A and B are shown apart, each in its own frame.
Chain A
Amino acid sequence: MRGNLTFDVAHLLAGSLVLVSFMQLYQDRLYALLNIYALHALVLAASVAWQAFVQDAPHLYVTAAIALIFKAIVIPVALHRIIVRLGIHREIETVVGVGPTMLLGMGLVALSMVVMLRVTVQADPLAREDLAFALSVVLLGLLMMVTRRNAVSQVVGFMSLENGLVLAATGAKGMPLVVEISVAFSVLIAFIVIGIFLFRIRERFDTVDVQALDRFRGERR
């Protein structure tokens, strides 16, 4: 009985993470995107905490706490303030439309299911499904990075990709160094966020700087 519940909850949480990744794909406002990312991190924290409970691995609670405090609260708030302070344009330019992006996303999820479920026949079902979902989240994060031109939304894409990796690492039962790896990733992300602020990367550079146009038309607030 307990085995079933364990599996179902883990499955539900990992599945929700994929779902939230899809929600990120169709956001066209930066603020909304940040909120969805916070939700993404929240689901990850719950998923990691559940794994910590199930595997009886207290050190994973540290990873869950990092996800909750750092990724779900500190980073979104910091990015929010950066957007306000730098006056970054709030709409997100996409390279591909929402429809094709969603279709591509579905294709990627199907791909990761096919690949991961086939090669992990020998692994236990929990780790198996977790890994397949994790790969989906990673691929969706990558998709988001290539379909957005705005620096902030690329960073959000990278962070959700990284959430997928943490999901994979915690799903692999008894994997050493998970906490260290999640700390290393947090440092990386902190660097990026500081980098955006310090270097004032307003827009992705190879496109028309929308803000410059606004200034030119006298629309700058």
Chain B
Amino acid sequence: MTADALTGVLLIPILAAAIFAMLPGYRITARLNVVASLLTFLTAVCLFVVEPRSGAYLLVDDLNKVFVVLTTFVGFTTSVFSASYIDHEIEIGRLTPAFVRFYHAMYQTLMFAMNLALIANNIGLMWVAIEMATLTTVLMVGIYRTHEALEAAWKYFILGSVGIALALFGTILIYMAARPVIGEGLYAMVWTVLITRAAEFDPALLNVAFVFLLLGYGTKVGLAPLHAWLPDAHAEGPTPISAVLSGLLLNVALYALLRFKMLLALNPAAIAPGPLMVTMGLISCVFAAFMLYRRRDIKRMFAYSSIEHMGIIVFAFGMGGALANFAGLLHMTMHSLTKSAIFFAVGHIAQVKGTQKIADMGGLTVTNPVLGWGLVLGVVAIAGLPPLGIFMSEFLVVSSTFARQPWLAAILVLGILVALGGLFLRLNTIAFGEVRGPVQRSDASYVPMFLHFAIVFAAGIYMPPALVLGFENVAKLLG
């Protein structure tokens, strides 16, 4: 039983991907996609019940359990949304059944790659998994094959590959640092071994390695100077993929970064990774907040909002300490749930209106009340208004920073407030005001969207003690 849950989260998606690649009917694959994602999620929950043993390749600890469950949960709800989204895309002929088959196979491959990256105990294996996740998303971003989609996919591909390449160089340097201490071979790349001996590594090599890893995986997280691929990839791909990219893939890259941060933190002679992360996080947050004002494309706007929130999360983890780590972790969870729910709403809105241009949509709360108010709720949540979950986590980030570095907290608050203004300015045109664009009913499934909102709402009011305890344990682990 022990190994089963761990191999399960890998085996189910990869088997499903193989089956979907062969099944001809797209309606049945869309249903099966939901079933496979649900099974993966249930298996992931089993990780909490029975703690599997970690080996030389796979690892389970408190940190990645949280990530795996979050990933598989959002993967499941997105597959539900994806089924109704894809139905509509086929109806209007934007996607052909052959492409849909490919899409579902890729969806499960992506889930496999993300789960593998999260539970890999070997830094080389983790790298391979993140590369695989990048590749599958590149293919999916370009799936519409319009000029813009191809350009977005190409940009994502080139920048993503460069990031991935830099991360590999960092990984090699970590191995070089570990080799004299641990000895040649497999164990010098095994995470659980590395962490026990990190204090003896050559600090100079570790420093250079971390810079490469921060730039490399930071590109995938979407940190400010390296974020150029992110808005295009979000805007031009199918919306379920935007949801998965924002809600999950950014987290996976962040997870890789956190692992290496833990490694560096244990070596007293190495540079402190915190200030680097704090700086990049703050720049991302403030920069993205200002960029929100000039957006004309609805998906692009929420992509910038993702950069802003990843900035806040990286900032929180960079500050470190039990409280800031707790806040960062909570914020990451809340952001994943809220942002993917927003993309569920945005996907249906774009389908109803037949466009993604903000100027061509208006008065949604009148024409499509459920969608319109759903979006309003989502923006209220993502902007960080009380009593929703993101308010809680942002409040924790700011208050824990204020006690230690008041100036940094002030800059962060500025970023959050500027973003709030930008979001509401656009929301006003989309949700209220005069009716613009075509008016038609949407036969969408609203369950995933409101399920996410319900969780975010509940977390803002009451967090179960067991959950708080779990997060506190992880925060302690992060140091």
- Footprint of B on A, CB under 8 Å? 115-116, 118-123, 127, 131, 134-135, 138, 142, 145, 151, 154, 158, 161-162, 165, 168-169, 172-177, 180-181, 184, 187-188, 191-192, 195, 199, 201, 205
Would you give 15 A-B contacts (Cβ < 8 Å), ordered by A? A115-B208, A151-B154, A158-B161, A161-B165, A174-B179, A174-B185, A175-B175, A175-B188, A177-B122, A177-B124, A177-B189, A181-B127, A181-B168, A199-B145, A201-B150
Asked if A181 meets B145 with Cβ closer than 8 Å, knowing A123-B176, A173-B184, A174-B185, the reply is no
Task: Please name 4 further chain A to chain B contacts, defined as beta carbons within 8 Å, in addition to the given A188-B161, A195-B142, sorted by A numbering.
Answer: A119-B207, A158-B165, A169-B172, A177-B125
Chain B residues whose C-beta falls within 8 Å of the C-beta of A134 in the assembled complex: 169
**Residue from A119, A151, A177, A192 in contact with B205 in the complex, judged by beta carbons closer than 8 Å:** A119
Q: When the two chains form their complex, are residues B172 and A188 in contact, meaning their CB atoms are under 8 A apart?
A: no
Q: When the two chains form their complex, are residues A131 and B176 in contact, meaning their CB atoms are under 8 A apart?
A: yes
- Footprint of A on B, CB under 8 Å? 122, 124-125, 127-128, 131-132, 135, 138-139, 142, 145, 147, 150-151, 153-154, 157-158, 161-162, 165-166, 168-169, 172-173, 175-176, 179-180, 184-186, 188-189, 202, 204-205, 207-208
Q: When the two chains form their complex, are residues B204 and A119 in contact, meaning their CB atoms are under 8 A apart?
A: yes
Chain A residues whose C-beta falls within 8 Å of the C-beta of B122 in the assembled complex: 176-177
**Residue from B150, B158, B175 in contact with A199 in the complex, judged by beta carbons closer than 8 Å:** B150
Asked if A191 meets B135 with Cβ closer than 8 Å, knowing A181-B168, A205-B147, the reply is yes
Q: When the two chains form their complex, are residues A161 and B172 in contact, meaning their CB atoms are under 8 A apart?
A: no
Q: Give the residue among B139, B150, B168, B188 with the most A Cβ atoms within 10 A.
A: B168
Asked if A120 meets B176 with Cβ closer than 8 Å, knowing A165-B168, A174-B185, A205-B151, the reply is yes
Q: When the two chains form their complex, are residues B142 and A199 in contact, meaning their CB atoms are under 8 A apart?
A: yes
Asked if A168 meets B124 with Cβ closer than 8 Å, knowing A119-B205, A176-B186, A188-B131, the reply is no
Q: When the two chains form their complex, are residues B172 and A172 in contact, meaning their CB atoms are under 8 A apart?
A: yes
Q: When the two chains form their complex, are residues A180 and B128 in contact, meaning their CB atoms are under 8 A apart?
A: yes
Chain B residues whose C-beta falls within 8 Å of the C-beta of A115 in the assembled complex: 208
The 10 closest A-B pairs by CB, nearest first: A174-B184, A119-B204, A177-B124, A176-B186, A205-B151, A168-B172, A184-B128, A199-B150, A119-B208, A172-B176
Asked if A138 meets B157 with Cβ closer than 8 Å, knowing A175-B175, A181-B124, the reply is no
